[in-house]
Structure 1
């Protein structure tokens, strides 16, 4: 059997199909020859007496021969095309959004093995191009966000703050003798200016939180929890462990954006009442885990460009891209009705993941929604 297996691995699909059809022709020819010899051995009387029976036997023999031929053909072709079926499964996985899927080492057909190798090379090149493009886009996006946030903070916010001061001075100068309608309009303008200033500050934080640049990851996440989730009625527990110093800027930015997106999804989609954020600095990297008690979802349906909602899953896709660009990875666990747990791990120096260990300097902040 080994020599048959060795020959099978060396033949391509065309050769296997050619041999399969040749085998069918041989089997059919041998069967027809046996039938012809048997018929010649019958006398004329036997032929006349058994004409009807002979016809039935002939038809049965032909039917059996056809069934055997079709069965042999199916088995041989199934074995011959099995490597193609495996390659097709990988292509379907890639089309469904599993961009990290690769064709395994294919044995049994040299042509299909070459196709699988070329397919993997194409995917690797596309993946490198996609990551390089995503890196440039995200870097440019962060720089643009930082520029706009700086302009809003240094110019627009300063102008609005100055306007509030002048409104207060104007109110003091008018005193208590000012007409009621003027006082009411001044109060309305001041209220509108104050709300606009607060919205500008919120927008500035969303674009590029200065607290992230000034104080680091943990204070920025804490600010976001206290000012976005807790006012919405979500009870959030924030645990930070091992953060005794600052991380590299790209790691802090990537991790904050991932946590921010996860918390935004909790606020918009989960209908959760409780959430937990665990930030840990470990010997070889940093991790963040976000949990909620919300409605959950099916992660297989959160693939951008797939299904009736092409925009679904873009947030998760962006989180995976941000993690991958700094050598990290994301694990997502969710089921309908059972909440969601998302964990991201980013290496500090290399791509290898360490064991799950804790660090020193534990800090716990519990928020009440």
Structure 2
């Protein structure tokens, strides 16, 4: 039965009952209206309104739940679907909404996978160009500076050596950026070594003491899952260095009952109700691509904790 006919029949039943009571009941209305008659009519009207409201509330409650779900749904944080309740059009509407959510999540996952794949390809290209072109050019400049410095007078030689050091620092920075863009250590030495390299690259001026606990007997994850773990750790460390004002950072990679867990904790300022930026949204999108669970919240030390749980195919140790 459609929603229109259900509401119509509910109101028709209420009005029919009221009419029957007036026609068949012993109640009469005098002119002018007596107080007792007015009280009886008022009580009858209130009863009819309450009964009608209760019937409509029962019939429309599933729509209210669906409206709440529509306002709180977040495709980056999948949750349980609204329960299919009610009858007729209401149940069909909830089923259609759930089907739409499934389709949107699938389409978002597909488009995000393409975008992230293109992003990784672009990072590899830029990293290669930095290494092959700019890196080689700076290396040639360093060699030329050394040749000129060896032949220059003593007063000028000191200044040329300073230029050499500045150029060498720039070359080291370019190589560091290239490594961050394309984690070659991840491909060559594995996830644990790549995460270890991340903690060693924390700038000295941040004065952050990094501690790490990395299990080596991890279950097989696959290249895509390892890259997601690496990128989430990289973004978390970058946020800590830039925004947390932390003194200590703990990075843990370990087996979990369902797969592998990555945890990054710091003792900094914490989230403090800040809106999620593009970095955190990117972390959530990457986690969704491999069916992982990403949570962000306060750490026991008062800072921030990022936890990424990646399930293995078997879901066991």
Q: What is the TM-score with the length of structure 2 in the denominator?
A: 0.87
Aligned counterpart for 1:322 among listed residues 276, 286, 292: 286
- Of the three residues 27, 30, 37, the one matched with 2:20 is 30
| Cα deviation, residue 240, structure 1 | 1.0
Deviation string, structure 1 residues 111-144 (Cα, Å, up to 9, x no partner): 1111111111111111111111111111111111
- Asked whether 1:127 is paired with 2:105, we answer yes
What's the Cα RMSD here?
Answer: 2.9
* Counterpart position of 2:228: 254
**Structure 1 segment 169-180 matched on structure 2, within 5 A:** 169-176=147-154, 180=155
Distance between the aligned counterparts of 1:167 and 1:245, measured in 2?
A: 50
SS in 2 for 1:354: coil
**Correspondence list, 1:37-52, <5 A:** 37-39=26-28
Matched, 1:341 2:305: yes
Cα distance change, pair 156–23 in 1 and its aligned pair in 2 (3 A): same
Shift in alpha-carbon separation, 1:96–1:252, aligned structure 2, 3 A: closer
Deviation (angstroms), 1:99: 4.1
Q: Offset at 1:266?
A: 1.9
How far residue 160 of structure 1 moved from its aligned partner, in angstroms, is 0.6
TM superposition shift of 1:353: 3.5
Distance 1:246 1:191, change over 3 A: farther
Distance across 2 between alignment mates of 1:85 and 1:322: 33
Distance change (3 Å), C-alpha of 1:200 and 1:39: closer
Distance 1:99 1:240, change over 3 A: closer
CA contact (8 A) 2:265 2:299 kept: no
Mark the runs of 5 or more structure 1 residues left unpaired by the alignment. 1-10, 41-46, 303-308, 356-369
Does structure 1 residue 225 correspond to structure 2 residue 203? no
1:336-366 deviation per Cα after TM superposition (whole angstroms, max 9, x unaligned): 9833322212234x2x5436xxxxxxxxxxx
Structure index of larger Rg: 1
**Local SS of the residue matching 1:272:** coil
Moved over 6 A (4+): none
**Residue pair 1:90, 1:101 contacting (<8 A) in 2 also:** no
SS of match in other structure, 1:228: coil
Instruction: Give the structure 2 partner of residue 60 of structure 1.
Output: 39
Q: Is the 8 A contact 1:153 1:204 kept in 2?
A: yes
* Cα pair distance change 1:158/1:245, threshold 3 Å: farther
CA distance in 2, matches of 1:245, 1:197: 38
Segment of structure 1 superposing worse, 184-193 or 227-236: 184-193
Give distance in 2, aligned partners of 1:245 and 1:153. Answer: 33
Q: Does 1:192 align with 2:154?
A: no
Deviation string 1:245-278 (CA, Å, 9 cap, x unpaired) is 9863322211100111112222233332222111
* Aligned residue pairs, count: 317
Matched residues in 2 for 1:63 and 1:112: separation?
Answer: 34
Q: CA deviation at 1:335?
A: 7.3
Deviation at 1:196, TM superposition (A): 2.0
The reply on whether 1:105 has 2:67 as its aligned counterpart is no
Distance 2:218 2:92 in 1: 52
Is residue 295–residue 337 contact of structure 1 (8 Å, CA) maintained in 2? no
Counterpart in the other structure of 2:261: 287
